[in-house]
């Protein structure tokens, strides 16, 4: 790790100002950024911590309507507190990483990083969530723009995420054996107006909606409706842990399992 300056503002305005500095980088839970800094792969001049800003924290919602998570809320808090509003979201948060990751890592950090194997992007996209920043609101469909790429502008800070609450939902993840990130993770959300299916871990393009499955499940919300279906292998990630064909197959399996588990 190289030397850097560290600022921990207590207000959003203070964070925005600090991030305007040259080569400043927002730090939330640090579960991705700090390891990459330790390996000297990333060397910001200034880290601006967002975890001292009270307004970025917490879980609030209206039963049956929506739940809003402050961007700097750790996964463990979402796992413990979001279940009353959105059980599938709480389940997903409780299955991220390990206890250390869940107690440091935050939803805002995860979405801003948009790791193609992270869990949260699938929940946001499948739920049709709204990502709120210090300057605007961005629909999840517009937010994720490919592996490690989002609609965020430089210096823009996610303040919270608002999830509409579906009738039924579930997340099914098949873990990569080493990192235990998603080799294929599928979040299925059934709304009155239709079903949304978002896939993480599998595609070279990052999180995506599997529209074929959405159409089939909107007509008949049951695993049988998508029996034998899988997205095309083309464009899926191929690495040590699985071929594109295997990942495409897993997407089908995990989608069926998510549908079966939806509650």
Partner 1 sequence: MPKDSGIGASSKRREDVRFLTGKGRYMDDMNRPGQAYAYLLRSPVAHGRITALDTREAEAAPGVIKVMTSADTAGIGGLPCGWQIHSRDGAPMHEPKHPVLAEGKVHHVGDPVAMVIAETAAQARDAAEMIVMDIEELPPVVNMKDAVAAGSPLVFDEIGTNVCFDWTFGTPQAETDAVFAAAAHVTTLDLVNQRLVANPMEPRVALGEYDPITELHSLFTTSQNPQLIRLLLSAFVLGIPEQRVRVMAPDVGGGFGSKIFHYNEEVLVVLASKALKRPVKWTSDRSEAFLSDRQGRDHVTRIEVAMDKDGHFLAMRTDTLANLGGYLSTLGPAIPTILHGTLMAGNYKTPKVTVNVKGVFTNTIPVDAYRGAGRPEATYQLERLVDKAAREMGLDPVEIRRRNFIQPDQFPYATPVGLAYDIGNYDATMDKLVEVADFAGFEARKAESAARGKLRGLGVSSYIEACGIAPSAAAGALGGRAGGWESANVRVNAAGGVTVWTGTHSHGQGHETTFAQIVADMLGLPENMIDIVHGDSASGPLGLGTYGSRSLAVGGSAIVRATEKVIAKAKKIAAHLLEAAEEDITFDKGTFTVAGTDKAIDFGTVALTAYVPHNFPHETLEPGLEEQAFYDPANFTFPAGAYACEVEVDPETGKVSVCSFAAADDFGNIINPMVVSGQVHGGIGQGIGQALMENCVYDENGQLLSGSFMDYAMPRADDVPNYVVDHSCITPCTHNPLGVKGCGEAGAIGSPPAVVNAVIDALQRGGYSHVTHIDMPVSPSRVWAAMQAK
CB of 90 to partner 1, least distance (A): 21
Contact call for residue 193 and partner 1 (CB under 8 A):
no
CA-closest candidate to residue 189, choices 122, 252, 127: 127
Q: Which of 133, 201, 246, 248 binds partner 1 (CB under 8 A)?
A: 246
C-alpha to C-alpha distance for 77 and 93, rounded to whole angstroms: 9
Number of H helices, E strands in the chain: 10, 12
Contact call for residue 241 and partner 1 (CB under 8 A):
yes
C-alpha to C-alpha distance for 254 and 115, rounded to whole angstroms: 19
Nearer to partner 1, 177 or 194 (CB): 177
109-138 positions binding partner 1, by CB under 8 A: none
CB of 166 to partner 1, least distance (A): 25
CA angle 139, 145, 148 (to 5 degrees): 120
Q: Which of 120, 143, 174, 187 binds partner 1 (CB under 8 A)?
A: 174
Contact call for residue 253 and partner 1 (CB under 8 A):
yes
Contact call for residue 261 and partner 1 (CB under 8 A):
no
CA-closest candidate to residue 4, choices 52, 37, 51: 37
Burial of 118 (0-12, 13-18, 19+ CB in 10 A): buried
CB of 147 to partner 1, least distance (A): 16
**Element containing residue 146 per DSSP (H, E):** none
User: Which of the ranges 14-22, 58-66, 155-163, 247-255 carries the binding residues for partner 1, by CB under 8 A?
Assistant: 247-255
CB of 54 to partner 1, least distance (A): 33
Contact call for residue 41 and partner 1 (CB under 8 A):
no
Contact call for residue 243 and partner 1 (CB under 8 A):
yes
Give the DSSP letter string of 24-53: EEEESS-TTHHHHHHTTS---SEEEE-TT-
46-85 positions binding partner 1, by CB under 8 A: none
Q: Which of 178, 228, 234, 263 binds partner 1 (CB under 8 A)?
A: 178
Please report, for residues 4, 27, 33, 50, 112, the alpha-carbon distance to residue 38 in angstroms, rounded to integers and kept in the order given: 12, 14, 9, 20, 20
Q: Which of 39, 64, 192, 228 binds partner 1 (CB under 8 A)?
A: 39
C-alpha to C-alpha distance for 84 and 62, rounded to whole angstroms: 10
C-alpha to C-alpha distance for 246 and 249, rounded to whole angstroms: 5
Contact call for residue 160 and partner 1 (CB under 8 A):
no
196-215 positions binding partner 1, by CB under 8 A: none
Helix (H, G, I), strand (E, B) or coil at 161: strand
CB of 246 to partner 1, least distance (A): 5
CB of 1 to partner 1, least distance (A): 8
Which residue ranges make up the site for partner 1 (CB under 8 A)? Answer: 2, 39, 174, 177-179, 183, 240-243, 245-246, 249-250, 253
């Amino acid at each position: 790790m190289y030397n850097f300056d560290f600022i921990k503002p207590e207000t959003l305005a203070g964070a925005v100002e600090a991030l305007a500095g040259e080569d400043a980088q927002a730090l939330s839970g640090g579960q991705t950024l700090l390891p990459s800094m330790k390996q000297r792969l990333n060397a910001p001049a200034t880290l601006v911590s967002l975890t001292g800003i009270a307004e970025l924290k917490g879980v609030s919602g209206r039963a049956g309507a929506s739940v809003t998570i402050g961007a700097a809320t750790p996964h463990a808090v979402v796992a413990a507190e979001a279940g009353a509003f959105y059980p599938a979201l709480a389940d997903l948060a409780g299955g991220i990483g390990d206890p250390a990751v869940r107690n440091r890592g935050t939803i805002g950090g995860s979405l801003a990083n948009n790791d193609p194997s992270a869990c949260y992007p699938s929940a946001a996209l499948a739920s049709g969530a709204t990502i709120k920043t210090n300057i605007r609101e961005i629909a999840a469909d517009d937010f994720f723009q490919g592996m490690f790429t989002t609609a965020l502008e430089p210096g823009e800070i996610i303040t919270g995420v608002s999830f509409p609450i579906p009738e039924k939902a579930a997340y099914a993840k098949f873990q990569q054996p080493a990192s235990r990130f998603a080799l294929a993770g599928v979040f299925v959300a059934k709304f009155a107006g239709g079903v949304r299916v978002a896939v993480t871990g599998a595609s070279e393009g990052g999180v995506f909606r599997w529209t074929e499955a959405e159409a089939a499940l909107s007509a008949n919300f049951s695993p049988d409706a998508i029996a034998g279906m899988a997205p095309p292998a083309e464009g899926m990630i191929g690495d040590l842990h699985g071929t594109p064909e295997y990942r495409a197959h897993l997407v089908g399996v995990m989608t069926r399992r998510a549908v079966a588990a939806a509650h």
